Amino acid sequence: MTELELKYGCNPNQKPSRIFAQSGELPITVLNGKPGYINLLDAFNSYQLACELRAATGYPAAASFKHVSPAGAAIGLPLTDLERAVYFAPEGDISPQAAAYIRARGADRVSAYGDWAALSDECDEDTARALLPEVSDGVIAPSFSEKALEILRQKRKGGYNVVQIDANYVPNPVERRDVYGVTFEQGRNELKIDASLLQNVVTENKNLPEAAARDLIIALITLKYTQSNSVCYAKDGGAIGVGAGQQSRIHCTRLAGSKADNRRLREHKKVLDLPFLDDIARPARDNAIDLYISDEADDVLRDGEWQTLFTERPRRFTPEERRVWIAAQSGVALGSDAFFPFGDNIERANRSGVRYIAQPGGSIRDDNVIATCDKYGIAMAFTGIRLFHH
């Protein structure tokens, strides 16, 4: 297949729409459904991210994409009992590939609503079962087991998008795209992200444990495929907060930090014990949790409205409970796609438990940023590499 006709482009008025190979065959086969323009942008970007995580860590990896940026990305470390509860994981054994997707989807379940899933390895039965109850637009993987395909074809009344990609595909080293009738051309970003980028630790604390270095690598690879400006918080083998597409670096740090805080709050007993009605739908439950752990909890707990979600009215967090719980977070890694211009980014990151940072360096205020890290005992590496993605 040299081309694939699409229903429309980014919006219904943008016709005609297609993808095509300028030479040779397209590297994908649509096994089910009819993916659209944005679906395939998400598919190709997310698959690259998952494959790079796989290559860098040795673990099966997955990404959950929305509007050409990751809502989450992770590797297939085993899930703890607490993580199973937080991520609403199915009971029983879970394959590493399934664990990677569950962890990626669980980073930010509200943003991941209607996501595109990318898998580095074969989509097995466990992963398909993890995808089945989620509101998702489609999945891309190098292969699918027969049982996985059977399960996925049950989604969206048989219309779920399932795309298989050639694992041996090598893209052209030069990329082109048209904007306003003008063709842009650049070399592909083939930068390899690994531990060698973390050698230049510029802070007084130079201790980067193996797990922290792994999480920094995960954060940096995630940033490579996140619309800039962007900052990523990561912990325990996955992104826990992605701040994408902000014009200001501090706003990236705040946005990603608030998502990381929400991920931390979901581990609180109050959230785990929320008395949901048995028939509550997943999206309604996810939205209710998001509101409950935010400052907008009163929107959920208004007189009468809670009865559509809970068997009894839950008691909301007090500001002090929220502050103490978030303050107990520690060991978080943070990556930035460009340098931090001011120490305020470090101040905000510290409030979300960040203890390890990787960023390019090169600001005229590097000394201030380093001094702020030293104030909190944060270890920071200068990578010397910018990771803008547009």
Q: Is 390 a catalytic residue?
A: yes
Neighbours of 245 (CB within 10 A): 18
- The active-site residue, picked from 32, 66, 155, 161, is 66
- The active-site residue, picked from 32, 229, 262, 345, is 229
d(CA 339, CA 161): 38
Helix (H) or strand (E) holding 221: helix 210-224
184 exposed, middle or buried (CB, 10 Å; 0-12, 13-18, 19+)? exposed
**Angle, in degrees to the nearest 10, between helices 210-224 and 37-57:** 150
Structure tokens at 191: 């930068």
d(CA 266, CA 107): 10
6 close to 19: Cβ distance less than 8 angstroms:
yes
105 close to 76: Cβ distance less than 8 angstroms:
no
Structure tokens at 211: 């797990």
* Sign of torsion over alpha carbons 197, 199, 201, 205: positive
- The active-site residue, picked from 67, 251, 270, 389, is 67
Structure tokens at 227: 């619309």
User: What torsion do the CA atoms of 370, 372, 373, 374 make, to the nearest 10 degrees?
Assistant: 90
Q: Is 268 a catalytic residue?
A: no
d(CA 227, CA 260): 18
98 exposed, middle or buried (CB, 10 Å; 0-12, 13-18, 19+)? buried
Helix (H) or strand (E) holding 289: helix 282-292
Q: Is 66 a catalytic residue?
A: yes
127 close to 97: Cβ distance less than 8 angstroms:
yes
Q: Is 207 a catalytic residue?
A: no
381 close to 358: Cβ distance less than 8 angstroms:
yes
First-last CA distance in the chain = 28
Task: Report the catalytic residues.
Answer: 66-67, 229, 390
